[in-house]
Amino acid sequence: MATRPEENKDIFDTAIKSLLDLVSARKISPELPEELLQFEEYVHLHAMLSEIRKSLTAFADGNVEYPITQKGYMAGTMKHLQSSLYHLTWQTKRIASGDFSQRIDFMGDFSESFNSMVMQLDETRQQLSQIAYTDQLTGISNRRHFMETLGNEVERAKRYDMPLSFIMFDLDHFKQVNDTYGHSAGDKALQTFAGVFRNSNLRSCDIFGRIGGEEFALALPETTLQDAFGVAERIRATLEKTVISHKDLSFSITTSIGVCEYKKDDTLESLLQRGDLAMYQAKESGRNRVCLENTKAS
């Protein structure tokens, strides 16, 4: 039986209101009115929009794994968005674990903001790492970083039965420099000595750092005691000839050096202690010299 024009208008108005409710209702998704169930294409449209609504709600709540069962252009677009969000979530987890190489090339302006954020985080991480492991005055490794790295080398020497030499340096009469010329001159002396390390043709695997006050240390992996002595003597001689200029002052400073070599079953602490004893031997026998452990000063 044919419907009257006013009935068609009522059904049309009901259908429009149903769709508006579906896309604008803030909480529970409205049910499809019974009088519209007879229209198959409308039922399909309502189901598709309802699915999109549920997907968007799930994404907004952080559920990027919500299953999208509908097909078609709009559902496909939602699946593409879902895939992008899922990958973005994975990348965010990678960044949280320390992988700052992650970048995205989708989602337009968001990509630029995201990539910029990651680069800034990476720069901040590098700056914090630099601060954490670098002596701020001299720019070389601080005690913490030096000890961590030396500890690793001790374990490597033990595991592979490889030689490892350790050198301790203490600037001679450093207190006198501070008392005579001022602490800023003392700082200049420390910076100059760090520069001597940098210009000593050390290998990339060699480790040097300031471990406290006027004390410095150098670790030489795969280096015998006699070879380490040669390195220490070269550094000593270079520092002795170096003129330190500060404001209108010019002065020089020397260093006492102790050298020892890793022995079987050495620990980090025992290696440090033997290097320290050799260095004090150099001080007690006249300063500005290199002492091998348990030998007379050279």
**Residues forming the active site:** 214
CATH 3.20.20.80 fits 143-292, yes or no: no
Q: How far apart are alpha carbons 227 and 218 in whole angstroms?
A: 13
Please, which residues bridge with residue 258 across strands? 168, 291
Helix axes 73-96, 109-133, angle to 10 degrees: 10
The 10s digit of each residue's pLDDT in 143-159 is: 999 999 999 999 999 99
Q: How far apart are alpha carbons 284 and 256 in whole angstroms?
A: 9
The 10s digit of each residue's pLDDT in 1-58 is: 445 555 677 778 888 887 787 777 766 667 777 777 788 888 888 888 888 888 878 8
Domain residue ranges in the chain = 5-96, 102-133, 143-292
